């Protein structure tokens, strides 16, 4: 019988009866998503990876979300893939606004290294135990966490005459650059 | 006393007129007089200078060596002009140099992110004179589709650009047209000959 | 000694910087430094409607733009809960397979150039030009086509499109034979790529590598077969897998075999489009999310209102999340949307294959020579636009 996501949740609840696991449901929640607390994240992930029935051997991706008006503000999302069962599963961890910290899963899946660096780069979420938590996509000396909802997009205003009063007036038609006798090679 | 004109070894070509000429009679011009007039006009020197400029400009225009510097999607169209369909060899520019020290032309093909901007500036400074820059595509001309925290709105904020080519990405024919326009610009410019040019271009370091 | 393979380098396929730690000429450690093409696409997507973000996706993996468009559209359609008609799915499959062929042509040309075989570049770019003229015909742009929309296509396919595609797929296998003639049994090629850039199956899975790089290491996982989308489960094709050694030669063979399989799938897709009608519906018939046809807009009041709402605001998806994947030529490309009910996504996360495959680079070149780094980077097939987004 093929493995289903319901079975995965059932196994998880059996194995971790004391951990508060919450299933997110909604009219358009298209993936099976469970919210787990940050402290038990590494244990849950190790179980999901090593259990012979579940075998979630690959961490497909990991990212962060900023849900600004909501408390807790941040979330980290982990999408797991079981190659042998062709099944996907999503885990989420909710993090508070001040000092968002979550243990790293690089010990479970080494691929999480760059994903966590990227999440740190964008949101400022710290991953305790990460071997090299530095900025990855933005310049090393960038200040700020650009993907947070209170960071601006940072665009440059398009210069129209109404919002740039000191703009230089365009000059009349420039003299032609090339004298008439210059020919294209093709001719 | 001997006539100094007879014994002076440095006597000039044209002998002094033997007698005062009749004011009413117009003397025919001698051969030597004509030559001297031509030399004094100095036409010969102007011709050499313009020939040299023409030769140097043509040589520079018809053998531009681009720096292989593709950043993003426009780089693929730049590779396409090196391909067989839009052959850039016919314009002499197929020799993409890997090192900026050997390149004339930097085609900034693609979006310039803030992290990449100091690198572009350093590469530009490493290129020897004469050098030109083509801003290929909308992103390097003015920021293009992306107007946000990460993209420099136009590479002309950091290097002086000679030709802007719009498009996203510009068709390879567009890039070839831009290279031809650059050739026109080179042919019409006054080449700086010699190792220490008198005037620097505005914006160059 | 630390050697910097800088952001400007003829062989790094874009602005990739690798800091190599060397002991003589052997590599003791490598650290890829990325971010030189970071474009802020994920942040920018939060300020644009779904349809406005489709051109952004073209510029991520700019060598295979239609696959990115498809990934985006599939994720948005999953969120909305709509599915386009079978004819649209067949057209999407056809264009995605042509995209795969053109992407592998670029890959083989640039990989061969890095290793030194210049001729293959001229040949493969000649084929790519044919695919680009097909894109031009169908969408108006050579590379950044933005042809797919959420719920279907932006325009119906023009006349003569299927004949053009047929002509291309009929002559493509001969060209793939040409490339193989030049490279597969070539002793220089084999010496440069066999046992170079090894990646074992266990490592590949642990490091999240997907796509031809994973299949080259012997793991038979292809999203078109294992998690089918857009009607792929009804097409007949093989999944090429490498010998299991996981070297650059394996990945080369997998990609060349994939080119042949793509030709097969494209032929089947063309036949299916002919069966379902050369002219027909090119969008879902649900006007809450998709623009109604112009004739209806001019006659029906509801269609006019829908058109106005969709153009002025964008469509309003339900509150929820969706993640959907496609098998892009580089690997598993996924888009994750969180929607809060407004026309602009709350979060768009792109799972880009090149970003993740590149992480495995230091493993592959440990203890090798500098020339192998070039072969390794070429064989993983990365696109910096996707790595940095």
What letter does residue C283 receive in the DSSP assignment? B
Question: With an 8 Å Cβ cutoff, are B76 and C55 in contact?
Answer: no
* Nearest CA-CA partner of A114 in C358, C211, C380: C358
**A183 within domain boundaries:** no
Burial class (CB in 10 A: 0-12, 13-18, 19+), A74: buried
Residue of chain C minimizing CA distance to B118? C36
- How many helices (H) and strands (E) are present in chain A, helices listed first? 3, 8
Domain CATH for A15: 3.30.460.80
Question: With an 8 Å Cβ cutoff, are B91 and A179 in contact?
Answer: no
Give chain A's radius of gyration (CA, Å): 25
**A48 within domain boundaries:** yes
Q: Residues C96, B140, B111, C152: is their CA dihedral positive or negative? A: negative
* Nearest CA-CA partner of A76 in A86, A84, A67: A67
pLDDT at residue number B25: 61
Of B147, B184, B185, which has the smallest distance from its Cβ to A156's Cβ? B147
| C contact set with B (CB within 8 A) | 6-10, 14-15, 35-41, 43-44, 55-56, 58-59, 62-63, 106, 110, 121-122, 125-126, 128-129, 132, 142-144, 384-385, 388
pLDDT at residue number B163: 92
Residue of chain A minimizing CA distance to B179? A184
Average pLDDT, chain A: 84
For residue C347, the cross-strand partners are C338
**C364 within domain boundaries:** no
What residues make up the domain containing C52? 41-352+372-388
Q: Is the Cβ–Cβ distance between C215 and C252 less than 8 Å?
A: no
The alpha carbon of residue B106 and the mean position of all alpha carbons in its chain are separated, in whole angstroms, by: 15
Report cis status (omega within 30 of 0) of the bond before B139: no
Dmax (CA) of chain A:
88
Count chain A–chain B contacts defined by CB atoms under 8 A: 39
* Nearest CA-CA partner of B201 in B160, B169, B147, B167: B160
Per-residue pLDDT for C134 more than 70? yes
Of C43, C321, C332, which has the smallest distance from its Cβ to A29's Cβ? C321
What residues make up the domain containing A115? 5-128
**A176 within domain boundaries:** no
Q: Which of B42-51, B171-180, C126-135, C284-293 has the least mean pLDDT?
A: B42-51
Of B91, B143, B148, which has the smallest distance from its Cβ to A153's Cβ? B148
Q: Which chains touch A (3 or more CB pairs under 8 A)?
A: B, C
Question: With an 8 Å Cβ cutoff, are B185 and A155 in contact?
Answer: no
Q: What span, in angstroms and rounded, lies between the C-alpha atoms of B76 and A27?
A: 43
Q: How far is CA C348 from CA C49, C150, C335, in A?
A: 11, 15, 7
Helix (H, G, I), strand (E, B) or coil at C363: helix
Classify the phi-psi angles of B110: left when phi > 0, otherwise alpha if psi is within -120 to 50, otherwise beta. left
Question: With an 8 Å Cβ cutoff, are A155 and B148 in contact?
Answer: yes
Q: What span, in angstroms and rounded, lies between the C-alpha atoms of C66 and C144?
A: 8
Domain count, chain C: 1
Q: Is the Cβ–Cβ distance between C126 and C179 less than 8 Å?
A: no
Question: With an 8 Å Cβ cutoff, are A83 and C221 in contact?
Answer: yes
pLDDT at residue number C261: 92
Residue of chain A minimizing CA distance to B62? A185
**A121 within domain boundaries:** yes
| Structure confidence by residue, pLDDT tens digits, B70-125 | 888 888 888 888 888 888 888 888 888 888 899 989 999 989 999 999 999 999 99
**C278 within domain boundaries:** yes
**A168 within domain boundaries:** no
Q: Is the Cβ–Cβ distance between C239 and C257 less than 8 Å?
A: no
Residue of chain B minimizing CA distance to C140? B171
Q: Is the Cβ–Cβ distance between B145 and B166 less than 8 Å?
A: no
Give chain B's domains with CATH numbers. 63-188 (3.40.50.12280)
Classify the phi-psi angles of C12: left when phi > 0, otherwise alpha if psi is within -120 to 50, otherwise beta. alpha
Domain count, chain A: 1
In this prediction the pTM is 0.86
Q: How far is CA C138 from CA B54, C92, C161, in A?
A: 46, 12, 7
Q: Is the Cβ–Cβ distance between C315 and C150 less than 8 Å?
A: yes
* Chain C residues closer than 8 Å to B77 by CB: 142-143
Q: How far is CA B6 from CA B11, B21, B33, B36, in A?
A: 8, 21, 20, 21
Placement of tokens 């380098």 in the chain: C9
| Structure confidence by residue, pLDDT tens digits, C378-387 | 888 888 888 9
**C12 within domain boundaries:** no
Of C219, C319, C351, which has the smallest distance from its Cβ to A28's Cβ? C319
What letter does residue C291 receive in the DSSP assignment? P
String of DSSP letters for C188-211: HHHHHHTTSS---HHHHHHTT--T
Question: With an 8 Å Cβ cutoff, are C384 and B72 in contact?
Answer: yes
What letter does residue B200 receive in the DSSP assignment? P
Q: Which chains touch C (3 or more CB pairs under 8 A)?
A: A, B
**A64 within domain boundaries:** yes
| Structure confidence by residue, pLDDT tens digits, B12-61 | 555 555 555 555 666 666 777 777 766 666 554 456 677 888 888 888 88
CA–CA min distance B191, chain C (Å)? 29
Which of the four pLDDT bands, split at 50, 70 and 90, describes residue C370?
confident
**A140 within domain boundaries:** no
Of A83, A88, A139, which has the smallest distance from its Cβ to C219's Cβ? A83
Residue of chain C minimizing CA distance to B116? C36
| Structure confidence by residue, pLDDT tens digits, C287-334 | 888 888 888 888 889 889 999 999 998 889 999 999 999 999 999 999
* Chain A residues closer than 8 Å to B183 by CB: 185
Question: With an 8 Å Cβ cutoff, are B98 and C106 in contact?
Answer: no
Domain CATH for C323: 1.10.645.10
**C30 within domain boundaries:** no
Question: With an 8 Å Cβ cutoff, are A60 and C227 in contact?
Answer: no
* Chain A residues closer than 8 Å to B187 by CB: 178, 182
* Chain C residues closer than 8 Å to B146 by CB: 39-41, 44
pLDDT at residue number B39: 65
**C90 within domain boundaries:** yes
Residue of chain A minimizing CA distance to B114? A139
Burial class (CB in 10 A: 0-12, 13-18, 19+), C190: middle
Non-local CB neighbours of A50 within 8 Å, separated by 6+ positions: none
* Chain C residues closer than 8 Å to B111 by CB: 37, 39, 59
pLDDT at residue number C137: 92
**A143 within domain boundaries:** no
ipTM given for this complex = 0.88
Question: With an 8 Å Cβ cutoff, are C8 and B119 in contact?
Answer: yes
């Amino acid at each position: 019988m093929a493995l289903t996501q319901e079975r995965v949740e059932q196994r998880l609840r059996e194995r971790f009866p004391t951990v508060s696991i919450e299933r997110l449901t909604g009219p358009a929640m298209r993936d099976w998503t469970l919210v787990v607390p940050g402290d038990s994240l590494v244990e849950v992930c190790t179980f999901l990876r090593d259990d012979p029935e579940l075998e979630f051997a690959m961490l497909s991706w990991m990212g962060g979300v900023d849900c600004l008006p909501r408390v807790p503000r941040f979330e980290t999302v982990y999408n797991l893939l079981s190659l042998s069962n062709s099944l996907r599963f999503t885990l989420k961890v909710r993090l508070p606004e001040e000092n968002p910290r979550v243990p790293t899963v690089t010990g479970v899946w080494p691929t999480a290294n760059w994903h966590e660096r990227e999440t740190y780069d964008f949101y400022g979420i710290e991953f305790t135990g990460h071997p090299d938590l530095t900025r990855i996509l933005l310049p090393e000396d960038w200040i700020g966490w650009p993907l947070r909802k209170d960071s601006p997009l940072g665009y440059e205003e398009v210069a129209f005459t109404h919002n740039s009063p000191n703009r230089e007036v365009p000059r009349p038609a420039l003299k032609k650059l090339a004298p008439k006798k210059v020919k294209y090679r093709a001719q | 006393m001997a006539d100094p004109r007879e014994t002076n070894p440095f006597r000039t070509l044209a002998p002094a007129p033997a007698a005062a000429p009749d004011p009413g009679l117009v003397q025919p011009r001698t051969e030597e007089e004509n030559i001297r007039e031509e030399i004094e006009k100095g036409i010969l020197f102007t011709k050499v200078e313009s020939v040299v400029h023409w030769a140097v400009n043509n040589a520079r225009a018809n053998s531009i060596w681009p720096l292989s510097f593709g950043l993003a999607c426009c780089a693929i169209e730049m590779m396409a002009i090196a391909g067989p369909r839009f052959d850039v060899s016919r314009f002499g520019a197929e020799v993409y140099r890997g090192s900026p020290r050997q390149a004339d032309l930097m085609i900034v093909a693609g979006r310039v992110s803030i992290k990449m901007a100091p690198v572009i500036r350093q590469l530009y400074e490493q290129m020897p004179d004469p050098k030109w820059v083509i801003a290929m595509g909308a992103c390097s001309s003015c920021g293009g589709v992306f107007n946000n925290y990460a993209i420099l709105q136009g590479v002309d904020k950091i290097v002086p650009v000679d030709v802007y080519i719009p498009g996203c990405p510009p068709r390879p024919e567009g890039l070839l047209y831009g290279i031809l326009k650059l050739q026109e610009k080179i042919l019409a410019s006054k080449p700086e000959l010699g190792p220490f040019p008198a005037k620097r271009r505005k914006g160059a370091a | 000694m630390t050697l910097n393979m800088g952001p400007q380098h003829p062989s790094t396929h874009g602005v990739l910087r690798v800091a190599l730690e060397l002991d003589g000429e052997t590599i003791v450690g490598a650290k890829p430094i990325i971010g030189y093409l970071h474009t802020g696409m994920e942040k920018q997507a939060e300020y644009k409607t779904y349809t406005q973000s489709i051109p952004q996706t073209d510029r991520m993996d700019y060598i295979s733009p239609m696959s990115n468009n498809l990934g985006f559209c599939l994720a948005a359609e999953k969120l909305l809960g709509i599915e386009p008609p079978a004819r649209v799915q067949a057209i999407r499959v056809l264009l995605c397979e042509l995209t795969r062929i053109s992407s592998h042509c670029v890959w083989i040309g640039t990989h061969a150039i890095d290793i030194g075989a210049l001729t293959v570049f001229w040949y493969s770019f000649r084929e790519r030009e044919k695919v680009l003229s097909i894109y031009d015909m169908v969408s108006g742009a050579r590379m950044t086509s933005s042809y797919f929309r959420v719920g279907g296509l932006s325009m119906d396919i023009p006349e003569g499109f299927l004949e053009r595609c047929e002509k291309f797929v009929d002559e493509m296998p001969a060209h793939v034979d040409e490339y193989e003639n030049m490279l597969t049994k070539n002793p220089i090629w084999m010496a440069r790529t066999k046992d170079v850039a090894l990646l074992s199956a266990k490592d590949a899975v642990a490091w999240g590598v997907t796509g031809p790089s994973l299949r080259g290491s012997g793991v038979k996982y292809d999203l078109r077969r294992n998690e089918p989308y857009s009607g792929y489960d009804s097409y007949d094709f093989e999944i090429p897998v490498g010998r299991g050694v996981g070297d650059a030669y394996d990945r080369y063979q997998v990609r060349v075999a994939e080119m042949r399989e793509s030709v097969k799938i494209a032929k089947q897709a063309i036949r299916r489009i002919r069966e379902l009608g050369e002219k027909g519906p090119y969008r879902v018939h649900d006007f809450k999310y998709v623009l109604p046809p112009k004739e209806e807009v001019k006659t029906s009041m509801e269609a006019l209102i829908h058109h106005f709402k969709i153009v002025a605001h964008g469509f309003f998806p339900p509150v929820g999340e969706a993640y959907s994947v496609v098998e892009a030529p580089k690997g598993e490309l996924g888009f994750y949307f969180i929607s809060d009910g407004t026309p602009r996504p709350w979060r768009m996360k792109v799972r880009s294959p090149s970003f993740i495959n590149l992480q495995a680079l230091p493993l592959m070149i440990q203890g090798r020579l500098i020339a192998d780094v070039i072969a390794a980077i070429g064989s993983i097939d990365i696109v910096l636009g996707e790595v940095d987004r």
